Amino acid sequence: MISARSLTKRYGTVVAVDGLSFDVPPGAITGFLGPNGAGKSSTLRMILGLDRPDAGSARIDGRPYAALRWPMRAVGALLEARAFHPGRTAYSHLAAMAAGGGLPRSRVDDVLGVVGLADVAGRRAGSFSLGMSQRLGIAAALLGDPAVLLLDEPTNGLDPEGVVWVRQLMRSLTAEGRTVLLSSHLISEVSIVADHVVVIGRGRLLADGSIAELTADGKSLEEVFFGLTADRGRDGRGRPNVGRHQKGRQL
């Protein structure tokens, strides 16, 4: 289980994540929703120990990421597509990661098969389309056969078939008892697969509950989302954020 407690991150004068606390329950898909700039990616990076929180903590099964004995076996993450050297082959990229995580080389072939890249494993990853890059990123996340997966916009750049494939993959992973945190701003995508959602805006928690609870009064998840984020249409310096505000008004 992932738990964030009073997680806070500042970049200069901007507070990206502001006292955020939530739990991601095991064996389920939890949607992590928020407008652009809400602090989703910063939160994911803090969970992975890549960014240091200014206050609070994020733990995985009670331990900070850096204290995990086998981090890649505990948590797999897809943070961005194309997070690889374009001159390296897909196979070498995964082989280097497997070596770093203390994983057997056979896992590379396993995950290449799962994501359907086995035929192009020897090609330089820089020649991949966005969809193929995304599959390579998912392969890297699955490499350690982890109990927890953090996926940031996993369907970005995938064709409709790929989107359905990711959905089924996430469902089969949770059916095996794994935890999936699906970060996205695609509300419809999250509403299709997630059991549970955490909504943030301006780095603060706006809602945390099952989709059934949040939509109990007959509203769609999208309506609930805009209701939650509409009054957050100003940034910290009091300037209106036009795009977001207008979306809120359209309801």
Partner 1 sequence: MEWIKLRSLRSTLWALMLVVVGMVGIGVATMANTRPPSTDAARSLFDPTNNVLAGVALGQLVIGVLGVLAVSAEYSSGTIRSTFAAIPRRPMVLAAKAAVFAVVLLITGEAVCFATFFAGRAALADDVPAPALEEPGVLRAVVLTGAYLAQIGLIGIGLGAIARHTAGAIGALVAVTFVLPLIAVGLTGTTVAKFFPTLIVANSIAVAKPVSDTLAPWTGFCVLCLYTLAALGVGGWLLNRRDA
Q: Which residue ranges make up the site for partner 1 (CB under 8 A)?
A: 45, 48-52, 65-66, 68, 71-72, 75, 77, 79-80, 82-89, 92-93, 95-97, 99-101, 140
Distance CA 101, CA 63 (A): 18
Between the alpha carbon of residue 170 and those of residues 60, 142, 180, 190, 203, the distances in Å are 19, 11, 7, 11, 26
CA distances from 236 to 56, 91, 230 (A): 21, 45, 15
Select 118 or 230, whichever has its Cβ closest to partner 1.
118
Q: How far is the CB of 42 from partner 1 (least distance, A)?
A: 9
Nearer to partner 1, 137 or 248 (CB): 137
Q: Which is nearer to partner 1, 95 or 190 (CB)?
A: 95
Task: Tell me the closest approach of the beta carbon of residue 77 to partner 1, in angstroms.
Answer: 6
Give the residue with the Cβ less far from partner 1, 146 or 233. Answer: 146
Q: Output the smallest distance, CB 65 to partner 1, in A.
A: 6
Instruction: Give the nearest distance from C-beta 40 to partner 1 in angstroms.
Output: 15
Least Å from the CB of residue 147 to partner 1: 15
State how far the Cα of 205 lies from the Cα of 203, in Å rounded to an integer: 7
